[in-house]
């Protein structure tokens, strides 16, 4: 897993670097747990984006990654997925399933909750069903 340190030398914001590191950490944890990555940042124009999609034992796992700086919680990872975000995830997932003809697979939605310290280093990665 590559940890990206924010240097201000590129166009990404600190928040974006934290998010990218969180996505990398979730992918690493899932792969180490036997999941196979099918897609990352799967986007459908004007619909939505799936952070990562995995398969294991014939099931499809769609993971929405939420990163938080320790001690700075405005909401839990579950609360961070609004009704609007949920609808976008569902529509995008439906398009993904149709495009890849995954009709016989169970689709399971997960949250990859990543906690960083104030310096941006990852402290914890938790996979939560929703």
Cα–Cα dist 6/28, whole Å: 20
- Of 39, 28, 46, 48, nearest to 91 by C-alpha is 48
Cα–Cα dist 57/104, whole Å: 12
Q: How many helices (H) and strands (E) does the chain have?
A: 2, 5
Q: What pLDDT does 2 receive?
A: 47
| Domains of the chain by start residue, with CATH | 14-129 (3.40.1350.10)
pLDDT digits (tens, 9 = 90+) for 95-128: 999 999 999 999 999 999 998 888 888 999 999 9
- Of 45, 16, 15, 26, nearest to 110 by C-alpha is 26
Paired strand residues for 129: 110
Cα–Cα dist 18/60, whole Å: 26
| Global confidence as pTM | 0.85
pLDDT digits (tens, 9 = 90+) for 71-91: 655 667 778 888 999 999 999
What is the CB neighbour count within 10 angstroms for residue 45?
A: 5
């Amino acid at each position: 897993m590559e940890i990206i340190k924010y240097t201000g030398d590129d166009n990404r914001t600190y928040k974006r670097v934290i998010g990218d590191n969180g996505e990398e950490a979730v992918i690493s944890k899932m792969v180490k747990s036997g999941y196979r990555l099918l897609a990352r940042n799967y986007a459908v124009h004007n619909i939505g984006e799936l952070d990562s999609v995995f398969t294991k034992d014939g099931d499809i796992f769609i993971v929405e990654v939420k990163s938080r700086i320790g001690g700075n919680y405005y909401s839990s990872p579950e609360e961070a997925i609004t009704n609007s975000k949920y609808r976008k995830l569902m529509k995008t997932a439906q398009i993904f399933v149709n495009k890849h003809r995954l009709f016989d697979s169970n689709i399971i939605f997960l949250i990859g909750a990543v906690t960083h310290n104030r310096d941006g280093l990852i402290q914890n990665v938790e996979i939560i069903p929703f």
